[in-house]
């Protein structure tokens, strides 16, 4: 499966910890991330991550393009709802595209854990029908 990873600045450490905790599962999949998030995840996990541009420099649009072309199966976006981002419309595009293309999307740690555990159990195999 192709997994997209995004984290707002205040959630990047949480994303690193998430990826450390689920390294064994993530290692069996292809990872795609916005630039800084991808670099930080690689640093602490030694996982291979395809890095797009930094989010505010176009990384969100690159991820959106992957979603539109059905090349992402799951998105984990640890966002900070209390601190609005200057490029918030880009994030809304990700949410809309995940809804349009039926891509599972986690926007918090609890949902991210549920999706990763279901991926490990094989519950996400239905995505192969869409590819």
Q: What pLDDT digit, counting tens, does each position of 3-60 carry?
A: 999 998 899 999 999 999 999 999 999 999 999 999 999 999 999 999 998 877 888 8
Model confidence, pTM: 0.91
Distances (CA, A) of 129 to 54, 102, 124: 31, 12, 10
Beta-strand runs (E) in the chain: 2-7, 30-33, 49-51, 74-78, 105-106
For 102-118, the pLDDT digits (tens) are 999 999 999 999 999 99
How far apart are alpha carbons 38 and 51 in whole angstroms?
6
Delineate the domains of the chain, giving CATH numbers in brackets. 2-128 (3.40.50.1380)
Tokens of 31: 């990872």
Binding site for substrate, by residue number, is 8, 12, 34-37, 87
Name beta bridge partners: 4: 32, 75
**Which residues are annotated as part of the binding site?**
8, 12, 34-37, 87
């Amino acid at each position: 499966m192709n997994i997209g990873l995004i984290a707002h600045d205040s959630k990047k450490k949480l994303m690193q910890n998430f990826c450390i905790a689920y390294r064994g599962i993530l290692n069996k999949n292809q990872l795609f991330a916005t630039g800084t998030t991808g670099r930080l995840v690689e640093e602490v996990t030694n996982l291979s991550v395809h890095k797009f541009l930094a989010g505010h420099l176009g990384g969100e649009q690159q991820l959106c393009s992957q979603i539109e072309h059905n090349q992402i199966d799951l998105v984990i976006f640890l966002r900070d709802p209390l601190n609005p981002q200057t490029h918030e419309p880009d994030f809304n595009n990700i949410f809309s595209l995940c809804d349009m293309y039926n891509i599972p999307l986690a926007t918090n740690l609890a949902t991210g854990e549920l999706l990763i555990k279901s991926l490990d159990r094989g519950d996400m195999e239905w995505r192969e029908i869409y590819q």
